[in-house]
Amino acid sequence: MAILSSSVKSYIAGFLDGDGCIMYQLIHRKDYRNGYQIRASIVFYQHTDKREFLEWLHQLFGVGYVRNRGDNVSEYTIVGLEPVIKILKVLKPYVRLKREHIKLALEINKILSKSYAIQRFIKAAELVDKFAILNYSKKRTNTSEKFKSYLRQHKLYPRND
């Protein structure tokens, strides 16, 4: 990641507040030991006419990808716990509207950085559910309850809590 001045950090944070999204999702993965992963992502949106701005962000952060969606909107997407947390820490002092998102993301990261033991992963999954509220998500189907049900069904977590 490039070294950013405070004015550039502030500008990017404002862009994230207005035309960006911080997402944490539970993703069902058959090839994972516990059947799920927690996916972290940051997405910046812009009209395709202004795609060069997203390319500039991509160049600054050095991670992720830019794509055109087909509805005259382009997206710059960063996926992965490590790069997302790194960027959120840089922007944290400057973000206003998404402060709760960042606080929650850092809390999830703190839990997962200590271990991926099943109890810690369940706690992190429960926090991921809160992103549905913060992001006004109506379509989220993978929840911590669904995850716990999967674990019980596969005898990976037999308790009913």
Catalytic residues: 18-19
User: What DSSP string describes 78-113?
Assistant: EESHHHHHHHHHHHTTT-STTHHHHHHHHHHHHHHH
Alpha-carbon Rg of the chain, whole angstroms? Answer: 17
> CA-CA distance, 78 to 67, in Å (whole number)?
12
Rounded Cα distance, 132 and 140, in Å: 7
Considering Cα of 143, then 82, then 99, then 111, what sign does the dihedral take?
A: positive
3-state secondary structure 9-38: HHHHHHHHHHHEEEEEEEEECCCCCCCEEE
